[in-house]
Chains A and B, each alone.
Chain A
Amino acid sequence: VQLVESGGGLVQPGGSLRLSCAASGFTFSNYWMSWVRQAPGKGLEWVANINQDGSQKHFVDSVKGRFTISRDNAKNSLYLQMNILRAEDTSVYFCARDVSNSGPSDLWGQGTLVTVSS
């Protein structure tokens, strides 16, 4: 039972990046899923979540209009498309499995680092 994120890296301000999260060991299509981020040395910030069939999505205000969350249940994968990236988006991004539509998150990936810098 695990989640494995990928796709992080260095990107210039204004650029785009797509994060992926591969799920295994459980029935991915049964769960809400979330993205949570953590800036270096800082606390946790919930970013977005998505329901089982992708029809419901919620975002923190700071990423609305710039980030998109999606999933492919056939591929057991969760995605975060990040556009118009800013320096303040620099964080480790974790994907997480949610017990319900508003959490809690009972399974987490190891995280992938996104650095926004010129």
Chain B
Amino acid sequence: DIQMTQSPSSVSASVGDRVTITCRASQGISSWLSWYQQKPGKAPKLLIYLSSSLQSGVPSRFSGSGSGTDFTLTISSLQPEDFATYFCQQGNIFPLTFGGGTKVEIK
């Protein structure tokens, strides 16, 4: 199975900060990488697919990049509604696998 490793596991940031989360795959997955946001007690929400494509309705402050094994999710200017947990997921090989998550907390 492909292991997805996210870092950091948590980050404390302030409104307006730039936040970068990384996701590393244990083997190359081309651009088959998605990012999700999850708030407590809620279902995940798709933010980014195919590494860098912004899902419809998602604010442009979210962006993704990378290919192969190394990927990043960047929030250019953190907003109050962005405090949540973020997960990456690879879609290259079954079983599909998620990273362990990164919790973005208020500083």
Contacts and interface: CB of A to CB of B under 8 A. Distances in A.
Interface string A55-87: 000111100000000000000000000000000
A44 B98 contact: yes
B46 A104 contact: yes
Interface residues on chain B, size class: 20 to 34
A contacts with B: majority SS: strand
Given A46-B95, A58-B94, A102-B96, A94 B34 contact: no
Contacts of B87: 43-44
A103 B88 CA distance: 12
Interface of A: 34, 36, 43-46, 49, 58-61, 94, 99-100, 102-106, 108-111
Given A94-B43, A104-B89, 5 more contacts: A43-B100, A44-B38, A61-B95, A103-B96, A110-B42
